Chains A and B, each alone.
Chain A
Amino acid sequence: MSLFRRSNSGDVARERLRIVLMQDRISLAPQLMERMKEDLVDVISRYVDVDRGKIEVEWRRTGGEPALVANIPVRSVKRGVASDDRAS
């Protein structure tokens, strides 16, 4: 990023603000992250058997956009999931 880049600084401000507020709001609500984690696991558990104790959900910033990255270790896949999928 050049100091002399001819981009409108107002746009830069808007983008930086958007991202910083996303991070502020999520870090102020750790219980919200916990709830989201639980909900994610509930949905995924319908299809595969996951290890609830080892789930990690975190914010990562790759490039410009912040991303939610979830690491959910799978113990086993339930039998019948694949055929259900094909049927629907």
Chain B
Amino acid sequence: MGESLVITSGKGGVGKTTATANIGAALAMMNQKVVLVDADIGLRNLDVVMGLENRIVYDLVDVVEGFCKLKQALIKDKRVEGLYLLPAAQTREKTAVTPEQMKNLVGQLKEEFDYVIVDCPAGIEQGFRNAVAGADRAIVITTPDVSSVRDADRVIGLLESAGFEGPLLVVNRIKPKMVDRGDMMDIGDILDVLAIDLIGVVPEDETILVSTNRGEPAVFNGSSRAGQAFRNIARRLRGEEVPFMNLAEVQGLWGRLRKFVGLE
């Protein structure tokens, strides 16, 4: 029996889909059997981020409505053993599925997979309720800005009243240089107000956009700093103790050199 995780944020555009793709791919690279579920019905994107958009035949709503078997709708990722995608329907609405149906679906997937990772849509309406319905644990993503942290706080409240114990926090798109000069909230500031456990800090990284352009998760790229951060998150989810990345190093050799010679 596997474990189900929902990746959520409240606010859109903070990196839920990117995190789902990368954490899932990283877990598969650790020899786990993983299925990614796109719960964003009507606005599917996980297929594109994964580069699997051309292989969709059936989708989540087809499965729920009994139009096809669950196995028929799963797309196997050929780049890494044990990684699958269950795509969302694009031409339907969030109300095409109920929380009860999602719970059943995730329950079935947990029998086959070690990890079922659900990509939650933005917002706190039915799409959110569907996405969290079958999840054992929740990961909340935020970026270091006021509106995103505020929405994360709201979502944490909703998760707690839905019975989730200890949602985990990922702070995405940190810019160490901006934090250094005091123009960005740091991790401590965010943890102070949200008061939940941190599971990852992901630096802002151009390789993410490049990997999305190509449809190749950044964790497949050994030199991507963000990819490294997502691999670390996957290891922590597996119970490993992994120290948090030294963000000063994220600036790279040039940054450190400038600091050394006193240019910064």
Binding site for B on A (CB under 8 A): 8-11, 13-14, 16-18, 20-21, 24-25, 28
Contacts and interface: CB of A to CB of B under 8 A. Distances in A.
A24 B151 CA distance: 10
Which 9 A-B pairs rank lowest in CB-CB distance, beginning with the nearest? A8-B182, A14-B189, A10-B182, A17-B146, A9-B183, A13-B185, A10-B184, A13-B146, A10-B185
A8 B181 contact: yes
Contacts of A20: 146, 150
Nearest to B186: A10
Contacts of A18: 193
A69 B146 CA distance: 26
Give the interface size class of chain B.
10 to 19
22 contacts: A9-B183, A10-B178, A10-B182, A10-B183, A10-B184, A10-B186, A11-B182, A13-B144, A13-B185, A13-B189, A14-B185, A14-B189, A17-B149, A17-B189, A17-B193, A18-B193, A20-B150, A21-B153, A21-B193, A24-B150, A24-B153, A25-B153
A15 B164 CA distance: 28
B210 interface: no
Interface of B: 144-146, 149-150, 153-154, 157, 178-179, 181-186, 189, 193
**DSSP majority for the B interface?**
helix
A44 B189 CA distance: 37
A11 B188 CA distance: 12
B17 to A, nearest CB: 25
Contacts of B189: 10, 13-14, 17
A83 to B, nearest CB: 46
Contacts of B154: 24, 28
A25 B183 contact: no
B157 A25 contact: yes
Contacts of A21: 149-150, 153, 193
Contacts of B184: 9-10, 13
A28 to B, nearest CB: 7
A13 B145 CA distance: 7
A34 B153 CA distance: 22
A50 B13 CA distance: 51
